[in-house]
Structure 1
């Protein structure tokens, strides 16, 4: 959400709808040969109406240079669809834009025919000095795009990945292959029961196979630890042999636990031979009984001192093998990380750390504060500010193509990156007349836009603004919370909105940064004190 918030900020303007179904207009009635003018067709329709605008390479004798995307403006209960074309003609004379066909719900509507005068470009050879044609001279090649640098970085990362894979593979091949080994029958039974759940046989609908494996694991354990013929016995024979062994070995096993285990064996027989289909909770209950029963039996087994020592030795060996496995995993991850860091280091050394920060990583607010700042002039009417980095123009084409009648131009400039947690947004608007923006209304509109784009819990304070250069205006400031796409959590942000106005122009200035970032606060103060305004051009 953070990036979305940084991408907003535009003045809200109202548009007057047309009472007619179709209107046609051109932005100029006279052009020079080869110059482009714009034809605009507007259709006032309902939300469910289907509109098809003309699509041709030529409108009469005029060539269509560009067909712009359709813009939509809601006007009360109706919608105004705006289609714009760029036209030209390379011969002088008067030309007629013919009536064009616009389909609305399969019904044809004709546009008005308009005329355009194409003027010839006069060249007076008696006054214009003529020169000989000069020889072709070599010029410096334009700098190519830097996409190939990304390919270099990607190639280094892939190479480090393959290198990590082969080194880890060699480490694994160089060690003695571990045999599947268990210190005792109970350890093997527990491991097999845990692995049984991982197979997800019940989820796949193979309940018969699940019960068969579960009871076989229990039978194998009983045979290996209690020493009764469990695998070849029926369920009743197994229970009789087990009770006899428990009695002879003087093992303490509760009769209730024996009855529960017998019930599991019977349920297993019903599933395997009678096609019984137990419910999910019944399956889970039977599995829990088996898990508990083998632990009770193992705890009740009588053991000699030598057997206990042997089990202890095997347990120590098992822990050592587990430790070695962990170390190999840690070494493998370490190798991968080291190779990745080396790859990024090679890239940074080749193209420079500044390139990485400028295009991919970004700068911390502390680095921005300590950098050599740049003073630049932006927009119309111009605003002069000093910033750590040059703001980049970021205009919305839809807004540019649908400016209100009294607006001459609007421009947006911004800077921001992920690591910085800091954004600067600047919007300038030039009017065709002496309109002066209502500062308080502008601040209210901007705060509503901030909320519409996802800001929550907005705390608003309003005050007059004046910097060290005597520039005055209005400001809103405070904090809000917004969802951070990287951390997946709400993040507390601070903001400050400055609005300036003069006859014929307005400037809006936005600073958004992570709360409690002291370096960001210093940057904000330094930028504010550098602001100067140029007068709007008449």
Structure 2
């Protein structure tokens, strides 16, 4: 769409408007006061069998239709003269263009002529009306520096980190009803089989595999031998097993204990040192754990003296209580820290929402594409010939006009160059075009502006409202400025967006320079970008 948009050469050639003069256009006055009525009259002469359709409009360009008069019909021999009048008004002073209107005659479209009108302010009687001095500019108190951005960013990161930590932790600690097993060995054997069915090794989840494998062994030892295995380190657990085997008179070979210790230490390396065992090592470790569990189960005496069993159980419970207390204190500290971060996050966000507004906080936290453009490193470049020098957030890219313009149009051009950034359906769109013509051409900037708007309308611009005024660069070069709003239709997602545009047109000897900026209406950052771009415009003189 953006490549076709600037086929604006049609607006310089009478071929744009070349059609049969079927509709005459006139207006009662070209100058009026604010709120006064302009009467636009359209006349057409047709046969008695022709069907003419005049549009029903609420606005004609920038002017509001306050009255649509009935059609007057005058019979002349075998033809009929149809006269349609529209009452128009405007409540802002300035120079405006009433654009062409499409009239259907026997289903064929015919365009009326465009007319320039001027709306003047109502003069105020300063002798009767008391005048007041202009108030001084009230300075804005900007006592807050940029430091808060870094503090707020840090708080947000901590808050998000705490939230993600708790969320992931909860997901990992899903509540699963544990199947009830008759004996610890039955439970351990079943869990080992389930572990293999998960295929964690095949998925590359080695850390998760070793974690579950050692947890199965530790759970069995804790339930069968009554040792606090889950809270113990590898060294503590091995020492506790040796002690329990002596007290409970368990017959354990040194190889069994060494195999358990070897697998536990291998698991520690995988979990904390990111070690990656080979496939045969993983299989060997799994077999060792299964063999250790079976050996321990066979070594446990069928009967244990009650006094010794109670002593071991009490010791295990005591160790478990100590571990639980430490765990509760740690969780409490984490909860306090997370709560503090969350409180600071909410309080800081609420403070800036109250003082700066929700939109300001959203744009600075989440980001805004136009704000990022405004705050980026701008580039000052010269485009085309005769050259246009402007400052933009991004470098404009050259478009091959040979692929865009038809051959009959290119035949009129000596040289043309087109540069763009963005697109009409994007958040910000800038184009710069320059051209030189082979033959002497009397360029009417008002007609050029009107033609450009017709091209925009053909490319998806709808309900275009236009105002125009004279424009002068900082070097004193005169041009024409057109500006207003339109609705841009996006064919990709079938949506429409209200947009604001500004067009600058300059003519030199056999040359035309044109700049267009378009962005979403109400985007304050884009407004600042537009102002900065227009203030930077410099023009080079055309050379033959």
TM class, shorter-chain normalised?
Answer: 0.3 to 0.5
**TM-score, normalisation: structure 2:** 0.33
**TM-score, normalisation: structure 1:** 0.34
Higher relative contact order (CA 8 A, sep 6+): 2
Larger Rg over CA atoms = 2
